[in-house]
Amino acid sequence: MLIKGTEDLRVQKTIVSIKENFEALICEKAYHEISVTELCARAKINKKTFYHYYPTLDDLLAEMQMELSTAYIELVKDYHLPEDAEKVNRIFFEYSVAQGLAYEKITCSSGSYSAAQQEMAAKVMDATWKKSPAFQKLKPEEQNLVLVFINTFGVGCYRQWVADGKKVPLETVIQISGALMCGGLNQFFKEKKNG
- CA angle (169 as vertex; 163, 174 as ends), nearest 5: 85
What is 9-55's CATH number? 1.10.10
Q: If you count them, how many residues does the chain have? A: 195
Q: State the Cα–Cα distance between residues 89 and 25, nearest whole angstrom.
A: 29
The reported pLDDT for the residue numbered 24 is 97
What are the pLDDT digits (tens) for 111-136?
778 888 888 888 999 899 988 999 99
The reported pLDDT for the residue numbered 7 is 61
What are the pLDDT digits (tens) for 160-176?
999 999 999 999 999 99
Cis bond upstream, residue 82 (ω within 30): yes
The reported pLDDT for the residue numbered 112 is 78
Question: Does pTM surpass 0.75?
Answer: yes
Per-domain boundaries in the chain: 9-55, 58-194
Which residue type is seen at 153?
Answer: F
Q: Is the pLDDT of residue 178 over 90?
A: yes
The reported pLDDT for the residue numbered 1 is 58
The reported pLDDT for the residue numbered 151 is 87
pLDDT band at 12 (very low <50, low <70, confident <90, very high): confident
Helix, strand, coil percentages, rounded to 5, for the chain: 75, 0, 25
Q: Average per-residue pLDDT in the chain?
A: 91
The reported pLDDT for the residue numbered 3 is 55
Q: State the Cα–Cα distance between residues 91 and 83, nearest whole angstrom.
A: 14
Number of C-beta neighbours around residue 127 at 10 A: 16
The reported pLDDT for the residue numbered 113 is 86
- The residues, any chain, with a CB within 8 Å of residue 12's CB and separated by 6 or more, are 3, 5
What are the pLDDT digits (tens) for 13-66?
999 999 999 999 999 999 999 999 999 999 999 999 999 999 999 999 999 999
Q: Compute CA distances 155 → 82, 121, 122, 131, 148, whole Å.
A: 17, 9, 13, 20, 11
Report the percent of the chain where pLDDT is more than 70.
96
Quick one: residue 5, left, alpha or beta (phi over 0 = left, psi -120 to 50 = alpha)? left
